[in-house]
């Protein structure tokens, strides 16, 4: 069978001849070691996502800025932010003491 490159050239390229190794650790081998490579290897996860991600082609879409939201309202008085070094654990928000009822 002719190789693919010999189909596109005028002179045929001889195919390599594989011979059996004379000695090996496991004795004699009946088949030579061949390394086959894919002609079209697939991209792995991150490379594939980077190559096939949606591209911005429209000029209005390229110049578009992120959405600007209004600032969040202040927290109600019965909620306070937990300080990072206070040792209250992993809680991001701590509940304050409820106001005492007047009698």
Whether 75 and 81 have beta carbons less than 8 Å apart is answered as: yes
Whether 80 and 68 have beta carbons less than 8 Å apart is answered as: no
**Torsion angle of C-alpha atoms 36, 41, 46, 51, degrees rounded to 10:** 160
- For residue range 8-62, what is the model confidence (pLDDT) as tens digits? 666 666 666 666 555 555 555 566 677 788 888 889 999 999 999 999 999 999 9
Q: What is the pTM of this model?
A: 0.27
- For residue range 75-102, what is the model confidence (pLDDT) as tens digits? 887 877 777 776 655 555 555 566 676 6
3-class DSSP assignment, residue 46: helix
* Spatial CA neighbour of 76 closest among 91, 101, 100, 93: 93
């Amino acid at each position: 069978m002719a190789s693919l490159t010999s189909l596109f050239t005028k002179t045929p390229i001889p195919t390599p001849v594989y011979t059996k190794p004379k000695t090996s650790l496991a004795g004699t081998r009946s088949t030579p070691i061949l390394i086959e490579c894919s002609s079209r290897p697939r991209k792995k996860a991150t490379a594939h996502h980077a190559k096939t991600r949606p591209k911005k082609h429209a000029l209005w879409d390229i110049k578009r800025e992120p959405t600007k939201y209004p600032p969040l309202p202040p927290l109600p008085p019965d909620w306070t932010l937990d300080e990072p070094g206070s040792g209250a654990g992993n809680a991001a928000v701590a509940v304050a003491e409820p106001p005492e009822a007047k009698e």
